[in-house]
Structure 1
């Protein structure tokens, strides 16, 4: 981590969930390098959500401090109301404010649908989707109170979805559903919180982490010209910019795919070809109309792992 003069996020307080490793760690280090004070959250569990022997949050805090930055560790469960509340409370107690929330925590329990147990479904939705909702709700309540008290709020939220949420992924019905839900939550939060000075966006990153190492292992090639396209550090610059104050002003309710050196604005669900009879269709007539519409429509994005 190299600190830059002043920094894009100088003076801001940023909380990053799941920041002990992978993408979250890269985000935390990048924010600190740009002058932010960082709350490093990590529950310290394995990639399947089971308890790990030690929490990495303190190690990331030490990395930030050794580079001249400022950070505190938070080990609470952000998918539980008390843990989400203590995340915001930690920022306020340590730094007196909270400006940016990066929701990143997650894990996998992959199964084909016919083998997917309810516990595995519930656990993944809890950590990914509820783990976005609860910290967002807690932070939003703080920012709303600040705005109502007459104080200027320049708050930012960066949520973490996935290509699985945009297109689906074979063997990841629980994960895909949770990540798609995060996109819906992002759009609603952006609309509801704008009046309080809060911008909410989402990313769909592709990077090599504990969650994706098995996926990328078969397709990984040696970095060209020293550039490792799958490094988590490639995603962090966009996340830092989205979490900044004035530089990112006016950008909200958007979803970005980011991988290596590529950033793409995702358009989401938009109306395609339409047929309007101005009367009730018969089943056969509806079928004929659908066939004609599909012939004019763009083909859907392939589901990951479908072998097309």
Structure 2
């Protein structure tokens, strides 16, 4: 493992910053940021000190309004590899074994454990650097019974019975590999494809909001962030599209979706290469949908 490597400001990394004289915790969103600023989500945990302060502004290169803070406001990054050693002893042993079995070259902790405000029922939110073959490793652990479903009530709450969740069948919920339990410890696994951030220089042009039925198929591995799906409209969309749409999400709740029909709502943007990209992450949703009825040829 790359013990000495400190991640850049990439998706899921938690850091402490002082903004306008007020200390608080923040979680990085994405890995491309405007000059001098960081795209974030103010991270609030009950019982934790600090009141995160962030400015919501229009980010031209992404074509969305998002929270940002100045880079120079960062006090310390809390999601480095050494964050694994801060876990409680039993949790550290189990998660350490999990990370070793997955063969992760780099791993750290994010979420409530990273800021020291976890509860007894908190997931261990793991950041890891994706490697080829990790999906097979996860499946093998599942087949060996080491990855198993958590309490069904808790998993159902995570998997689609709240705002922005994915309403899926029992089998999909039970077999999740990135949001489950390992040897009795609940975890969420966020697999990154890069460890360093970059300046946001491209331009995404907003086209409007899509809300309709798409047939989704994974593009590449369905367990990395961002996760991408090829979306094929069930019919000509209200916005006039009949071709394919790239659905891109940074939310782990939308990973591992099997091919099928889904109701998708989200912001649609056009990139500089002419690709139509739909994101459900800004007030949108992905929900399982019944296949549309086909016209009777007779």
**Which is richer in strand?**
2
**Would the TM-score normalized by the shorter structure come out above 0.5?**
no
Normalised by the size of structure 2, how large is the TM-score?
A: 0.27
Task: Compare CA radii of gyration and give the structure with the larger one.
Answer: 1
